[in-house]
Amino acid sequence: MQKIVITLFIMIHSFFGFSQFFNPEKYPVYQGNDLGLNYSTSASTFKIWSPTAEKALLLLYKNALGGTPIETIEMQRGVQGTWTKTISRNLKGVYYVFKIYSHGKWLNEVPDPYAKAVGTNGRRAVVIDLKTTNPRDWDLDRSPLFSNRKNLSSQLGGLPTDAVIYEMHVRDFTIDKQCGVQTRGKYLGLTEAASMNIAGVQTGLDHLQELGVTHVHLLPVYDFYSIDESKKDSNQYNWGYDPLNYNTPEGSYSSNPDDGVTRIKEFKEMMKALHQKKIRVVMDVVYNHTMFTENSYFNQLVPGYYYRQKEDGSFSNASACGNETASERPMMRKFMLESLKYWVKEYHIDGFRFDLMGIHDIETMNMISNELRAIKPDILLYGEGWTAGSSPLPDSQRALKKNAYQLSNIAVFSDDLRDAIKGSVFEPLDRGFASGKTGMEESIKFGITAACEHPQVDYSKVNYSKAPYAKNPSQVISYVDCHDNNILWDKWAISNADDTVIARREMHKLALTIVLTSQGIPFLHAGTEFLRSKKGVENSFNSSDDINKINWFDKADNSDVFQYVRALISMRKDHPAFRLTTQKEIASLIDFKQGENGLVGYEINGKAAGDEWSKIFVLFNGNSKAQHATIPAGSWSAFVLNNQISATGTAVNTEIQLQPHSAAILYQK
């Protein structure tokens, strides 16, 4: 009966036209978990979901690109909108694609969205044995602990607020010729230990360990479109926010993108090396849109289904990239869930950052969180709580920043804190608290308290959000810059062009001090710890290596900034008062003493937080002039005074003078 219904459905579509009768709610939902290729040496079973197809073909090829099929095989209709074919021989090394006949025409041949291995440029999937992609002792690889918190559950490596995230691009990090790495710009570049440049500073993998971050956030490493992998050693560059194949690594970061096995094995080698250095890995994922729309791999199998449409039937575009996916539709939701679970199980990924997460629906995001936590209870999940355009899905249903309180163990980026510190990312000349702008004190307090309700924050004066949106601090990413827009050191050069370099260095240190002492989950952009510059290029997504590379001489030239940031990270990891876990703790243990005239000061009850520092007093002067500040009564020692680490714990009493754009961190034991 089901086959008759589907056949009639297809006939109606073909006769009257697709858009008039397109109703995704009527499509059958496949309940199995075996879409794509299921391989053994004796047989390979191929299964795709294409309920509107009238015919479906499996095409086998000898090569990754070019040539004609060595075999064209008709597939059989299966249950719930699927098509399937089993070939009873060993197909290892054979490339394959699918082609369907729908709405009166044959569509383009494509690998299916579930493809786990692809050849050059991701045009064709390839049959592999996944067991051959495992490095030696891969079964012994474990996600490292990232917390020294007492009484931590044995299932947890740490709590979300214990994390210190470091966002980086695989190619950027080791492409510099002076990096001291042999396989520059590749996955394997992040496996090489003991690398340094001629200035004698540690680079690459060892730099990450030296800095002390707990999580590396990798910009897209799934297979994306914009790099021509057939030109192996050309100087091509892209961030990778143009998805092609979601379930296999990008080939341009491997030593041999032509071979479907190599890119997978080298990715796993990278994962293993980072884990051995006690660093977890977050993967930047872009399920909100695809590189192509009409010609996308999704759309060639089920036209229209995976994308949202406007009332006139055209594709909606909340991503500003030509389309937006429909996460609320069962088979798109299923795809996201199965894809994410695959990366966790097969590649040992420790977390995900969701690009334009505000496009996705809340129900899907919560299902993702719950199912991933069943596999890895301490997985780290966060995303952008906004979109790049309007969406037909109502705001109330989407994973927007203002709906963060409805999300289950998922954090959103605090653009409130970001722009409060440095000024609007969309107005290059705009200044923030750290660069001398007045009236930003309440926005800084909002960021310090991680968007949680606090009785001393005047929400009417906060720059963007006029109410708290987080249930607890683990729902907020505290940051001041990322790969998008002008990075921090370049922002100062534009907004504070008349200030000296020395003054801008102090602004930079103050900005990072605010991030690393705020509640929530701190997030740093690679190289900010030694004043990285992209030479004024605002969005360097396809700029040259000269613009994007990490220049490791900057680390030597700005070693004081590096050592300062390193000390702050170490301090945060040692003191749970900066890593509170509940809104109640934030409201009761943080007491703001100052919040005007460019000064923000607050005391933390460290004793109640289980900290060896029984009291902590943090003070920020964003003003361009030195200011005197009164501190609470008692005998205090300085960990930081005027953006300098005080190794001996300088004694401080009653009043201090804070220099322009500087911070103080005081404590009592």
Q: Judging by DSSP bridges, how do beta strands 476-478 and 521-525 pair with one another?
A: parallel
DSSP symbol at 316: P
Which residue type is seen at 602? Y
Exposed/middle/buried for residue 455 (C-beta within 10 Å: 0-12, 13-18, 19+):
exposed
CA distances from 560 to 481, 506, 643, 644, 657 (A): 20, 11, 10, 9, 22
Taking the C-alpha atoms of residue 205 and residue 216, their distance in angstroms, rounded to an integer, is: 11
| Nearest of 129, 58, 48, 118 to residue 81 by alpha carbon | 48
Exposed/middle/buried for residue 134 (C-beta within 10 Å: 0-12, 13-18, 19+):
middle
User: 658 with 626: CB under 8 angstroms?
Assistant: yes
Give the SS3 label for residue 582: coil
Q: What are the catalytic residues?
A: 355, 384
Helix 260-276 × helix 330-347 angle, to 10°: 60
Taking the C-alpha atoms of residue 326 and residue 287, their distance in angstroms, rounded to an integer, is: 10
DSSP-assigned states of every residue in 144-161: PP----TT--TT-S--GG
User: 42 with 90: CB under 8 angstroms?
Assistant: yes
CA distances from 643 to 161, 166, 491, 601 (A): 24, 21, 20, 15
Taking the C-alpha atoms of residue 421 and residue 169, their distance in angstroms, rounded to an integer, is: 24
CA 599 from centroid of its chain's CA atoms: 33
User: 552 with 203: CB under 8 angstroms?
Assistant: yes
Q: Residues 43, 49, 51, CA angle at the centre, nearest 5°?
A: 135
| Nearest of 91, 90, 58, 89 to residue 76 by alpha carbon | 58
* Number of residues that make up the chain: 669
In the numeric block, which tokens belong to residue 109? 């041949």
In the numeric block, which tokens belong to residue 555? 């680390």
Taking the C-alpha atoms of residue 250 and residue 248, their distance in angstroms, rounded to an integer, is: 7
| Nearest of 9, 10, 12, 88 to residue 44 by alpha carbon | 88
CA distances from 149 to 89, 153, 518, 572, 575 (A): 53, 10, 18, 12, 9
List the end-to-end C-alpha distance of the chain, in Å, as a whole number: 76
User: 429 with 421: CB under 8 angstroms?
Assistant: no
Q: Residues 558, 562, 564, CA angle at the centre, nearest 5°?
A: 115
